[in-house]
Copies of this chain bind each other. A is one copy, B any other.
Amino acid sequence: MFTERFLRDKRGASLEADERARIEAAISEVKTFGPRNIVARAGEPLTNSTLLLEGIMSRYLDDRNGLRQLVAIHFPGDFLDLHAFPLKVLDHDVATLTTATVATVPHAEIEAIAEEMPQLIRKLWFATLLDAAIHRAWLFRLGRLDATGRVAHFLCETNARLFSAGLSDGRRFALALTQADLAEICGLTTVHVNRVMRQLREEQLCLFRSSLVEILDPAGLAKRAQFDPAYLYIDDDSQLPSVQRPK
């Protein structure tokens, strides 16, 4: 039940039935947070990790002037802070964006899994590295794309991630984020995100209103974003639009 989306359709790392059962047995608690709640703060020692079941959560760094940069966004099926298991202490804050339901997994249980099922620990390691691969794509986005490309890239990525979690049909998906959230993801101002959204609308690439994203021209959007989903390590990404890959 709780783990059906975790590592779903991930190349070489999808969970077997017994592995899913083991993780579910490790869950100590399921709880729900309200929107915009801080769940963990940088520097705090953590003794649990958190599997997101429902809602959207974020990881971020704030600058001195209160400007915020999201470093990751998480959807159902993501293990939010699995990296806290080896690291012990996080270097960033974790918060909900929407109302969110999470399952708590004590680190002691992960420790036990390490003894019992070493191949499962390997998959947990994989999951943390998938997050790192997404970090790298975000670096590319911030470093080398213009405002429109950044937003387009984020929307392509989100579509692909939600598709592999079974939460997008490949073109349309619910996304309860504000334009201010997009700004904090893309390193832009809210004002400019608004202009970019209008442009994407006018170019008939993508619509985003009342928490629903509709990709009108998947190939066009992917091209604008220079998006190639390879970094998401999805088992069969042939249905997802991307720029033509160099072989």
Q: How far is the CA of A206 from the CA of B168 in the complex (A)?
A: 49
A201 within 8 A of B: no
A43 touches B132 (CB 8 A): no
A86 touches B126 (CB 8 A): yes
Q: How far is the CA of A129 from the CA of B129 in the complex (A)?
A: 8
A142 within 8 A of B: yes
Which B residues are in CB contact (< 8 Å) with A176? Answer: none
Q: How far is the CA of A216 from the CA of B136 in the complex (A)?
A: 32
Q: Closest CB-CB distance, A17 to chain B, in whole Å?
A: 21
Q: Closest CB-CB distance, A114 to chain B, in whole Å?
A: 7
Task: Indicate how many identical chains form the complex.
Answer: 2
Q: How far is the CA of A145 from the CA of B138 in the complex (A)?
A: 15
Q: Closest CB-CB distance, A113 to chain B, in whole Å?
A: 12
Q: How far is the CA of A131 from the CA of B131 in the complex (A)?
A: 11
A71 touches B230 (CB 8 A): no
Per-residue contact bits, chain A 1-25, to B (CB 8 Å; 1 contact, 0 not): 0000000000111000000000000
Say yes or no: A136-B61 contact (C-beta < 8 A), given A125-B128, A144-B69: yes
Residue on B with the closest CB to A84? B129
A42 touches B230 (CB 8 A): yes
Interface positions of A from 116 to 140, Cβ below 8 Å from B? 118, 122, 125-126, 128-133, 135-140
A230 touches B142 (CB 8 A): no
Per-residue contact bits, chain A 90-133, to B (CB 8 Å; 1 contact, 0 not): 01100000000000000000000011001000100110111111
Interchain residue pairs A-B with the least CB separation, the first 4: A143-B187, A135-B135, A91-B231, A142-B142
Chain A residues packing against B (C-beta within 8 Å): 11-13, 42-43, 59, 61, 63-64, 67-69, 71-72, 83, 86-88, 91-92, 114-115, 118, 122, 125-126, 128-133, 135-140, 142-145, 186-187, 226, 230-231, 233, 243
